[in-house]
Structure 1
Amino acid sequence: MKIVAQVKLLPVSAYDADALAATLRTCNRAANVASQVAFAKGLKRRNVLQEAVYHRIKADFDLGAQPAVRVVKKVCDAYATVKANVRAGNYGPPGSKSRAWVESKPVVFREDAAQPYDDRILTWNLDARTVSIWTVAGRVKGVPFICSPEAMRLLASRKGESDLVMRDGMFFLYATIDVPEPPVSEPDGFLGVDLGIVNIATTSDGEIMSGRQVNRYRKRRRDLRGKLQKKRTKSAARALKRNRRREARYATQRNHIIAKKLVHTAERTSRAIVLEDLGGIRQRVTAKKDQRARLHSWAFAQLGAFVEYKARRAGVAVVHVDPRNTSRQCSECWHTHRTNRVTQARFACRSCGIVMHADHNGSRNIAHRGEAAWKRGAVNRPRATAR
């Protein structure tokens, strides 16, 4: 499986930083020219597009041979992504960008968009923790980088491309790592996980991972943004720029912690993880005005992605099930009625009388559905291996 290791570059001079920024601007301007040609002439395959624009972008933008090749590949990859998203229907919520609108315009690259590098134009020195990187001003050698110990360990097996990214004036390299994926074990049980806004995750074991801290933090950030936006001063604008992405980083960290905990529990008990398939839930659910911000900032897809890739690295199976009526169905007698869900936190079955936490009841239903799907063969069953 492929995962990404992030390192932060520390340019030793302002000249090096300007060279890196100029490289991104130049490569993305060249990519926009190639994108216009690809759209106008229908040249979406790499070989035919490279033949049409290679010499032009080399001469017009003073690119080397390999950077020009990387620019062409970036354009082709972008059109392949657009095609895949349109085919899957992922081109915007209802009423926004239609399929015809998406297909009627060429792909446009921002001037600070990421630029891919390969081993011919980027050399890593892991012992010295430096890189030698091509720029439009010439190759810049001995650029230091810093990263986490885990990223450093992964970089030892790095192969393939790395992306140069500029974010808030800082430069990063995202290196793609191909790590061995262990075979998935045959589960001895199923750990149901109910995802929510009030409680981010609740397991069928009864463990509740509350979202109160995250929701309070998000509310504070929204209130702060509102106050700064009303001021409309230069200092307020600087504060907004300084604080942007902080909320997203905080939520991402929480999702990493929760995903790691879920996978560790499943691995320790030899169980599979069962998640709800919540795709399109924002379009299906009607939220009150004061609840819309919480609904649309709910990072359930990110948490699910974190659980999946961590589970794959640990050899833990992941099953997705239909979430309909999991909050209304009794996990003991299977009686389903909307009045069973008394409040957000309380479930009381009208048939058998059992009372429990509503999210715990939902997670138990999810675990039962995952087990049934596994027995029916509705999921890809792994080869059984000794643990």
Structure 2
Amino acid sequence: MKIVVQVKLMPEAEQAAALRSTLRTVNDLACWVSQVAFARGVPREYELRKHTYLHLKAQGLGAQAAQHVIKKVRDAYTTLHANLRAGNLGKSKSRRRVKAESKPIAFRPEAAQPYDDRCLSWQYDAQTVSIWTMAGRIKNVSFVCAADAFKVLQQYHKGESDLIERDGVFYLIATCDVPEAEAYEPDGFIGVDLGIVNIATTSTGYQAAGRGLNRYRKRQLALRAKLQKKRTKSAKRRLKERSRREQRHVKNTNHIIAKTIVTEAERTAHGIALEELRGIRRRVRLRKPQRVTLHSWAFAQLGDFIVYKAKRAGVPLVYVDPAYTSQTCSQCRHIDKRNRVDQGLFICRGCGVVAHADRNASHNIAARGAAVWTAGRESRVPATP
């Protein structure tokens, strides 16, 4: 299982200048490679290399750095084409899709640049790195990170690391290959219902209310609007200081929720059943005031956190179809749209059971998870006559 560890670099003034110059140069050249690729119909990586490699070398890039720039551009176009095929950029001839298809991909000056073991080496005892730059290889660049992250980095680092600059601070995003724990045979499943009013509700009784997070988002939205309206230097400085603050807060909240759910499943020897919610933003139709709330909902991030934490702990996990989970009675299985009286109340028209709507849905998800797990273990081989 691959996870990433973020490491903060603490370079001296000359080292920081070399790193900044390197990022600007490689991303400018990546934009040039992107223009060549776009003009030639985005050829394969080997074909693109024949048209760009010598020019990159002449601009002062090392052999490995030149290869990484070409690969970065080709990977960006691969991702773009995958999004186009999946319909993530709208239908054919839509404004957003035409804009994406009509011009070469551009790279920001601070965009990430991949480094492999030939361009970057780690000295764990001294907590420093040696890294290639346009000014030559610089050594003894100090780094800091959390104690747990450093332990994972030291034991499981494998593969490339990305150098990025964020608000004048340099980071290395290191890839680590952590072994997965062996999954046990679950004694039932915990259903997890994801939502906006209640971020996560489980069939065991745990409920992570979204009231505090939604209030925090509204305050941040109002404050950003107020500062953007002023347009003064101090307002712009405040906006820059507060950038990504909401993102970090939501990420930390999702980490806490995911850890609570996985720990409970591991303690009770249960598996976890999640709804398959990919593409929900394209499927649903909402009024304008509700769109901000939906598009701020980081359900995919929470799901990803639950998945990787479950894999590390050896907790079995399955995805289930979310259709009608909020309209189905968990007791008698009667399905009726009118069963869902309002956001928080469920009253079955068949048997009359009264329950919390999200709790009822989580029980349905748990039952579907058990069915999916059993179906996956059953043999599909025809019986021998």
TM-score range with shorter-chain normalisation? over 0.9
TM-score for both structures, normalised by structure 2: 0.93
Deviations 1:273-320 (A, max 9, x none): 111111222222233333222111010011111111111112222211
Match of 1:377 in 2: 376
User: Does 2:84 correspond to 1:86?
Assistant: yes
Q: How do 1:69-218 residues align onto structure 2 when only pairs under 5 Å count?
A: 69-92=67-90, 95-98=94-97, 102-156=100-154, 157-218=156-217
Deviations 1:172-217 (A, max 9, x none): 0001111112333332211100000010000011211111111111
Match of 1:385 in 2: none
Q: How do 1:216-295 residues align onto structure 2 when only pairs under 5 Å count?
A: 216-295=215-294
8 Å contact from structure 1 (residues 373, 379) kept in 2: no
Deviation at 1:238, TM superposition (A): 0.8
Deviation at 1:51, TM superposition (A): 2.5
Aligned counterparts of 1:135 and 1:168: Cα–Cα separation in 2: 20
Deviations 1:77-121 (A, max 9, x none): 2222223333333335895533x6544433221121100011111
Tell me the amino acid that sits aligned with residue 79 of structure 2.
Answer: T
User: Does 2:12 correspond to 1:6?
Assistant: no
Match of 1:340 in 2: 339
Tell me the amino acid that sits aligned with residue 140 of structure 1.
Answer: I
Match of 1:329 in 2: 328
Aligned counterparts of 1:379 and 1:48: Cα–Cα separation in 2: 47
Deviation at 1:152, TM superposition (A): 0.6
8 Å contact from structure 1 (residues 267, 316) kept in 2: yes
Tell me the amino acid that sits aligned with residue 21 of structure 2.
Answer: A
Aligned counterparts of 2:47 and 2:310: Cα–Cα separation in 1: 40
Deviations 1:229-266 (A, max 9, x none): 12121111111111010001000000011111111111
8 Å contact from structure 2 (residues 201, 358) kept in 1: yes
Match of 1:26 in 2: 25
Q: Secondary structure at the match of 1:97?
A: helix
Question: Which stretches of structure 1, 4 residues or longer, exceed 6 Å deviation after superposition?
Answer: 378-381
Worse overlay, 33-42 or 151-160:
33-42
Instruction: Flag structure 2 segments of 5+ consecutive residues without an equivalent.
Output: 381-385
Alpha carbons of structure 1 residues 283 and 81: separation in structure 2 relative to 1, 3 Å: closer
Q: Secondary structure at the match of 2:26?
A: helix
Alpha carbons of structure 1 residues 291 and 43: separation in structure 2 relative to 1, 3 Å: closer
Q: Secondary structure at the match of 2:164?
A: strand
Aligned counterparts of 1:155 and 1:376: Cα–Cα separation in 2: 38
Q: Secondary structure at the match of 1:134?
A: strand
Q: Secondary structure at the match of 2:96?
A: coil
Aligned counterparts of 1:242 and 1:78: Cα–Cα separation in 2: 30
Instruction: Flag structure 1 segments of 5+ consecutive residues without an equivalent.
Output: 382-387
Deviation at 1:136, TM superposition (A): 1.2
Match of 2:383 in 1: none
Q: Secondary structure at the match of 2:136?
A: coil
Aligned length: 378
8 Å contact from structure 1 (residues 326, 362) kept in 2: yes
TM-score for both structures, normalised by structure 1: 0.92
Aligned counterparts of 1:182 and 1:42: Cα–Cα separation in 2: 44
Deviation at 1:346, TM superposition (A): 1.2
Aligned counterparts of 1:379 and 1:230: Cα–Cα separation in 2: 61
Q: Secondary structure at the match of 2:49?
A: helix
8 Å contact from structure 2 (residues 42, 77) kept in 1: no
8 Å contact from structure 1 (residues 319, 379) kept in 2: no
Aligned counterparts of 2:303 and 2:138: Cα–Cα separation in 1: 39
The alignment's C-alpha RMSD in Å is 2.1
Aligned counterparts of 1:380 and 1:320: Cα–Cα separation in 2: 20
Match of 1:384 in 2: none
Aligned counterparts of 1:93 and 1:238: Cα–Cα separation in 2: 39
Alpha carbons of structure 1 residues 19 and 121: separation in structure 2 relative to 1, 3 Å: same
Aligned counterparts of 1:228 and 1:371: Cα–Cα separation in 2: 50
Tell me the amino acid that sits aligned with residue 123 of structure 1.
Answer: S
Tell me the amino acid that sits aligned with residue 74 of structure 2.
Answer: C
Deviations 1:317-368 (A, max 9, x none): 2211121211111100111112211221111112211111110001001111
